[in-house]
Structure 1
């Protein structure tokens, strides 16, 4: 009981875990209450994100910021993958593509910008491994170019079948590139991407007392499973709730799903930035964006041949491609110096808010 009380004092968001059983109870008793289920699912994902963040930080301290960032990005992207798989089975390909584009821009702009802002407000000037950041930003730019090509080709006369075949080939190429990128950064040239060492303050060490690596891994598995279950409820209620709340489908897919799906990673990225572990924050934000573009999106294309009503292509609407391209270029420019201050985060957040305002005010028919 004392351990539980200590954790609640250290992380008040854990108190919101009560909404997880409440959500499942409401889903069983009132399955038609889409708006209520939507709100409860968001409230349930927030503390689960905090639990994922807390557990991953403990593991990252043992394996290093580079591998820790990859671990957090992988587990955090499970939410986006689950949401997209549910939409894929239902044939909601517009929602799938909107969630992919939204997750990429949310991670590259909102998560990275928020980390730079929160870390800069506490530490004035922060430094991070610009080599690792450049690699992730470069992989993200490469993947956006791969998404741009079929989007252009598909709008040529009589190119629909060719665009589908091209998407299949690009999906395999992107997955292969992602695997080689992990081999390069974590094995053959891992020393080039090691983050700076950080001392753990006494008060933080006390807060982490009782969180062994084994305990953290168990909690990671449990939280990941719960996030997947909650995400299923979220997908089932989000569309009807959006209509009730007056939100456009574009705003839901691009902004709401992007923010909710990335909640787990955001908790870790923001917390690490406040602790002056910006290598971990940058690794989570850019690593997650690159992973979605290079791995999640291609995997969804391949899975659409198995579980979808028809094959899905990598043909995105022009506005989404432009926003992803802007996000990747902004990430490249931001990480060139390897140094950051709080106003750099403000500029990234401003770019993201431009996109959010556009989708919020966009007429439903667009």
Structure 2
């Protein structure tokens, strides 16, 4: 199980650039933003490579959790940098969370089902495991993104702080309960019938993977401020109706790219359950961890965080959730199922630019 050279080069380059920039007090410029973005993407891919090596050592589902938590930490760091950069953007966290759910449930899942179906005609999944993911995703999505607008305070145009805190506690409780079921009580529901054979990394290889995974995360967090400034500056030049929605979607698209490639490769190898574990796990971690983290940080730094969705976003979210339940209801998927998800994804992307 070889690790590509870039998995070692990018983390070192990212940390070095961040250290030099901090030491010399280099201002955020267009060139710096471009270089930082390239290094951040490369380092994110590196993190996935090292997380996969740890996954082979730890086994499933713990390996998938390492990857999920790593990407969640990267996403939070970039979103916090965006939140603290420039003027207050209260809907950024909400848009990023919504984009993650929509990208995963329609885009990533759709591509996996479409390409897997075209290659293998029909693919099987463990319904109990996928149902576990979807039940918690549906509950948290509705509680965090739809309910705040339907409470008495929400209907008056303002969600109270008590409401938000209580909802976030419920979100963390649901996610924690899911992790217990996934890793302890019902672990078999999230595994494939036959696991793909991998050579188990040695203790030394695993230690190297741990060190470079941590180095990758440090590199991404260090560069996130430069990337945030560059993304906002670039998009500010465009006549966008809803800049926060597009910024959130761009950040999510960048950060989900490594997990998307991992999931698509697994689906093409006819390991759809592993692909769904990666994809749905990232969506669940985003709404279960990223959203509470963003709300908490918003309170700490005195930045407003808006959770309520716009009507068109609410409709698309509910449609994606309902479609996901139907798509996995039989335990078998095919290319048609994937095509429907991809079409919904394209509609969502269109509404980002033409709401």
Superposition TM-score, scaled by structure 2 size = 0.84
1:193 aligns with 2:190: yes
Compute the displacement of 1:304 (Å): 2.1
Paired residue for 1:126? Answer: 123
Query: Partners in 1 of 2:197 and 2:155 — Cα distance?
Result: 57
SS in structure 2 opposite 1:93? coil
Q: Does 1:345 align with 2:331?
A: no
CA distance in 2, matches of 1:189, 1:210: 28
1:293-313 Cα shifts (integer Å, max 9, x gaps): 122212322332212345x35
Q: Is 2:90–2:306's contact at 8 Å kept on the other side of the alignment?
A: no
Cα distance change, pair 41–105 in 1 and its aligned pair in 2 (3 A): farther
Match of 1:333 among 318, 326, 340: 326
> How many angstroms does 1:20 deviate by?
4.2
Aligned in 2, Cα 1:7/1:216: closer, same or farther, shift over 3 Å?
same
The one of 214, 222, 229 aligned to 1:229? 222
For 1:249-277, what per-residue CA distance to the aligned partner results, in whole angstroms no more than 9, with x for missing partners? 14523421220122232232223223332
Q: Give the Å deviation of 1:320.
A: 3.0
Answer yes or no: is the 8 Å Cα contact 2:10–2:46 preserved in 1: no
Distance 1:245 1:45, change over 3 A: farther
**Equivalent residue for 1:104?**
101
Alpha-carbon distance between aligned partners in 2 of 1:200 and 1:194, rounded to the nearest angstrom: 14
2:174 counterpart of 1:177: yes
Q: In the alignment, is residue 93 of structure 1 matched against residue 90 of structure 2?
A: yes
- Does the alignment pair 1:167 with 2:161? no
C-alpha change, 1:265 and 1:171, in structure 2 (3 Å) is: same
Confirm or deny: 8 A CA contact 1:69 1:281 kept in the other structure.
Answer: no
The change in CA–CA distance for 1:319 and 1:231 in structure 2 (over 3 A counts) is farther
- Indicate how the Cα distance of structure 1 residues 335 and 43 shifts in structure 2: closer, same or farther if over 3 A, else same: farther
C-alpha contact 2:89 2:244 (8 A) present in aligned 1: no
Superposition RMSD in Å:
3.2
Q: 2:94–2:306: 8 Å Cα contact kept in structure 1? A: no
SS of 1:79's partner is helix
Q: How far apart, CA to CA, are the structure 2 residues paired with 1:102 and 1:181?
A: 22
Given that residues 269 and 281 in structure 1 are in contact (C-alpha distance below 8 angstroms), is that contact kept between their aligned partners in structure 2?
Answer: yes
Q: Structure 2 CA distance, aligned partners of 1:52 and 1:138?
A: 29
Counterpart pick for 1:306 among 277, 300, 307: 300
2:161 equivalent to 1:156: no
State how far apart, in whole Å, the 2-side matches of 1:59 and 1:259 are.
Answer: 24
Which moved further from structure 2: 314-323 or 297-306?
314-323
The TM-score normalised by the length of structure 1 is: 0.82
Aligned counterpart, 1:49: 44
Q: CA separation in 1, counterparts of 2:213 and 2:11? A: 15
Judge conservation of contact 2:133–2:284 (CA < 8 Å) in 1: yes
Q: Is the 1:174–1:294 Cα contact (8 Å) retained in structure 2? A: yes
Q: CA deviation at 1:65?
A: 3.5
In structure 2, do the counterparts of structure 1 residues 244 and 132 end up closer, same or farther at CA, with 3 Å as the change threshold? same
**Inter-CA distance 170–252: structure 2 relative to 1 (3 Å threshold):** same
Could you tell me how far apart the structure 1 residues matched to 2:229 and 2:258 are?
20
CA distance in 1 between partners of 2:204 and 2:239 (Å) = 43
Note if 1:358 corresponds to 2:351.
yes
**Unaligned stretches of 5+ residues in structure 2:** none
